[in-house]
Structure 1
Amino acid sequence: MTAPSIQALTLEEFLNHPYIEDSPAWEYADGDAMQKTMPKTRHSLLQKRLLAEIDGHSETYTALPELRCTFAGRSIVPDVAVVAWSRIPVNERGEPEDNFLEAPDWSIEILSPDQKANRVIDNLLHCIKQGGQLVWMIDPDDYSILIFAPQQEPNVCRGRCPLQVLPGVDLELTAEQIFEWLQINRR
């Protein structure tokens, strides 16, 4: 099932619509507003574990679920947005501002069966072009992770292929380890 879309909006019009924070979130690119697909169990398990692993292995970065990032004419909501603490804008009370207006340092998308891979890749490449340092597209059906980084060839990782992470994230992972998180041990 394809997610609904609304066309011919400006970014400002899109950001003023009350529906964009409905679940699942809406994204905007090139005048087109598209609702993301609703996460399923495997997606949610991978997202939860990635958030915990990244946060548990870095004091420089924080991993945030479903953070709306509006920058360079788009408004996207990566499944996991990893951002340096120093890049999070704060208000006069020292609390984070609600709007994040830059590309995340590391964007992670977990492909759902109903999602269009090229739309996801387009958003990930936009992050790289606008200053992101790393992006992953995790495909649970193919047990693969597509990785993009500036000035590097794309890399598809499967099995014991080590995964590239940000400097400052003390984490060593393989594609195999990530997909093992989907194994539920029954007692």
Structure 2
Amino acid sequence: MNVPATTPIALEEFLKLPETEPASEYIDGEIVHKPIPKGRHSRLQAKLCAAINRVAEAQQIASAFPELRCTFGDRSIVPDVAIFLWQHIPFIVVDEVPDNFELPPDWTIEILSPEQNVNKVIGNILHCLNYDARLGWLVDPDGLSILAFARDRQPVLLRGDEMLPVLPEIELALTANEVFGWLKMTR
């Protein structure tokens, strides 16, 4: 949902506004409200963060952050999952994570909600890639597919048992079926 401003708002002014729930993003001079995450979205987001952090965080390779505000270029966005290589995390006081990330994630993951505008979501992924992110995923729970973006090649639509691309530093082997299998919970 877009909330057009009666007068254009600058990025600096947007960043002074109180945070909203769900998060608001600043895109092309507009404040865009992200939809409230629902069950499938929340489940996929949690499982993706856990899977990535399980193989990358203890070895200080990378860390996956859910709903982390990233401000760079002329946007302030909140990817569903933002993955930063360890050396790119702007640590403060003795390895402490900062509140503000003023750089793009190395890998951005967006989980499409039915009420989201797919082109705005893809626009955020492309914005990350234009500012040196290396990988982006658009996860579509309704289509059981993942559209993978990289700076150096055409997007690839992945389904079923196709292996999903990850950053080469992160030793994680996942297929689209495995990701969407997380939606099923056994009792």
When the two structures are superposed, what TM-score results if normalisation uses the length of structure 2? Answer: 0.94
1:70 is matched with 71
2:47 is matched with 49
1:17 is matched with 17
Report the alpha carbon displacement of residue 90 of structure 1 after superposing the two structures with TM.
Answer: 2.4
1:32 is matched with 30
Report the alpha carbon displacement of residue 4 of structure 1 after superposing the two structures with TM.
Answer: 4.4
115 and 34 in structure 1: CA distance in 2 versus 1, 3 angstrom threshold: same
* Residue-by-residue CA offset, 1:65-93 (whole Å, 9 max, x unaligned): 10100000100000000001211112234
Moved over 4 A (4+): none
Percent of residue pairs identical: 49
1:123 is matched with 124
Report the alpha carbon displacement of residue 57 of structure 1 after superposing the two structures with TM.
Answer: 1.2
CA distance, structure 2, for counterparts of residue 94 and residue 127 of structure 1: 25
What is the DSSP-based 3-state SS (H/G/I as helix, E as strand, rest coil) of the residue aligned with 2:104?
coil
Counterparts in 2 of 1:1-16, with a 5 A limit?
3-7=1-5, 8-16=8-16
Structure 1 residue ranges without an equivalent (≥5): none
What is the DSSP-based 3-state SS (H/G/I as helix, E as strand, rest coil) of the residue aligned with 2:63?
strand
What is the DSSP-based 3-state SS (H/G/I as helix, E as strand, rest coil) of the residue aligned with 1:62?
strand
What is the DSSP-based 3-state SS (H/G/I as helix, E as strand, rest coil) of the residue aligned with 2:110?
strand
- The Cα RMSD (Å) is 1.1
CA distance, structure 2, for counterparts of residue 161 and residue 92 of structure 1: 42
CA distance, structure 2, for counterparts of residue 173 and residue 6 of structure 1: 39
Structure 2 residue ranges without an equivalent (≥5): none
> How many residues in Structure 1 have an aligned counterpart in Structure 2?
182
When the two structures are superposed, what TM-score results if normalisation uses the length of structure 1? Answer: 0.94
